[in-house]
Amino acid sequence: MRRRGVVGVLASLGLALTVGCAPRAASTRASTLVVWAWERPEDLRFLPPGVEIAALTGFIEISGPRTVIRGRLHPLRAQAGQVTTAVVHVEIDPRRPFEWSEAREAEVAAAILDLGGAAWARRLQVDFEVRASQRPILLGVLRRVRDGLKPGVVLSMTALASWCETEGWLAEAPVDEIAPMLFRMGRGGVPIREKLGAGGDFRNARCRDALAISTDAPLPGAPAGRRVYLFNPRSWSAADFAAIEERVRAWRAVR
């Protein structure tokens, strides 16, 4: 296993982040557009003031007995103060026999805190892919991350949109914000998208602070007054952002 501190990750990757020391503890109810800067080269200096950036800063793969930990591999350029959220992606390799223990849980949580602990991060978002049988693992890791989080930093997690309709275990998630992902949902996502487009909302009230959409999966509508995370399957361009911003503002999710 190879561990790397966040400062070392950013410096060694040439991550051209110009970040300021913005105030912490921002409200999770703020109506804000947040652009995800995923695992590829990104130049987001074209974004207008007030738009935030959630930057992938680390990747953790749990593969059999091994835990693979690495930082961001591609450069990100942004205006000062716009990068507010550090995102750490965690996944379990389905090809290897799964092994878990308290020590493994502590290791993964420590790695998340390390990779997402940049001084500019007002939020730490955990993007952890789990199956139904692995949900207790996700909750255990989140509890340890919460215990180790710096004061004033908001803890966020992504979630399948279906969880927000059918799963009660989200009530146990020790996070400030849940961002249901309204893309790549398959047929099961059609009723959810239609419900939101018709003026409805998620059944689980814990899922009503944020939502996530993609440039290639526009929504007919969504509830107002929440953070909207924007995903793009390719590197962002000014045209891509302008198109999705116009669609979002059309259904007044951001004011």
Residue 255, Cβ density class (10 Å: 0-12 exposed, 13-18 middle, ≥19 buried):
exposed
Whether residue 255 is contained in a domain is answered as no
Whether residue 20 is contained in a domain is answered as no
Q: How many domains are contained in the chain?
A: 1
The 10 Å Cβ neighbour count of residue 136 is: 12
Whether residue 118 is contained in a domain is answered as yes
CATH number of 97's domain: 3.20.20
The 10 Å Cβ neighbour count of residue 91 is: 15
Residue-range definition of the domain harbouring residue 87: 6-15+30-250
Q: What's the full length of the chain, in residues?
A: 255
pLDDT 10s digit of each residue in the chain, 255 long? 334 333 333 433 344 454 433 333 333 344 589 999 999 999 999 999 999 999 999 999 999 999 999 999 999 999 999 999 999 999 999 998 888 999 999 999 999 999 999 999 999 999 998 988 899 999 999 999 999 999 999 999 999 999 999 899 999 999 999 999 998 876 668 889 889 888 899 999 999 999 999 999 878 788 888 899 999 999 999 999 999 999 888 876 454
Distance between CA 86 and CA 126 in Å, rounded? 9
Whether residue 194 is contained in a domain is answered as yes
Whether residue 207 is contained in a domain is answered as yes
Whether residue 137 is contained in a domain is answered as yes
CA 105 to centroid of chain Cα atoms: 20
Whether residue 24 is contained in a domain is answered as no
Torsion of CA 216, 76, 54, 173, to 10 degrees: 100
Distance between CA 134 and CA 98 in Å, rounded? 10
Whether residue 148 is contained in a domain is answered as yes
